[in-house]
Amino acid sequence: MSYEHLWGVMGGTPHAQAEMTPAQTESAPSRPHLSLVPEPEDYDEFDPFDPASATNEQWQDRALCAQTDPEAFFPEKGGSTREAKKICTRCSVRTECLEYALAHDERFGIWGGLSERERRRLKRGII
C-alpha cells in the first residue's frame, strides 16, 4: 500500500519534522522530566527499623499459603478452590488475610478462605 497520496497533507514526507519559529518554541509547553529513579536530593536519610511502626502486612510471612503452591489459591476459571479453602481453615492469619483482601479490593484468588464472588457478596452484605 502506498501512502504517497498523503505526503502533501502530512507536511511533505512521512515523519517530516515540523519547523518552529523561535517565538513558537518559547510559547510551546514543555514536557516535564519523567524518571523512574528518584533524584539524589529526593532521598531522605534512612530511618532505623522500628517494629512498632511496621505494617500489619507481616501476617503474610506467617500465612500457610506462603508455604504452599500458589496455583491452588489462584485457580483457573471453573477450577477447584477446595484445596486452598482447606488450607485457609487451618491458617492462623485467616482474618488478617481476609481484611487485607477486602481493604485492597483483591479481585482474584482465594483470600482468607473466600473466593472473589464470596468476597463481593460479603462486601455487599449478602453473606
Which residues fall in the annotated binding site for [4Fe-4S] cluster? 65, 88, 91, 97
The sign of the dihedral angle between the CA atoms of 87, 92, 95, 97 is negative
Residue 2: HSE in the Cβ half-sphere, 13 Å Cα cutoff: 3
Cite the annotated binding site by residue number: 65, 88, 91, 97
The sign of the dihedral angle between the CA atoms of 6, 11, 13, 16 is negative
Maximum distance among all alpha carbons in the chain? 72
Of the candidates 59, 65, 107, which has an alpha carbon nearest to the alpha carbon of residue 85?
65
Of the candidates 96, 12, 92, which has an alpha carbon nearest to the alpha carbon of residue 57?
96
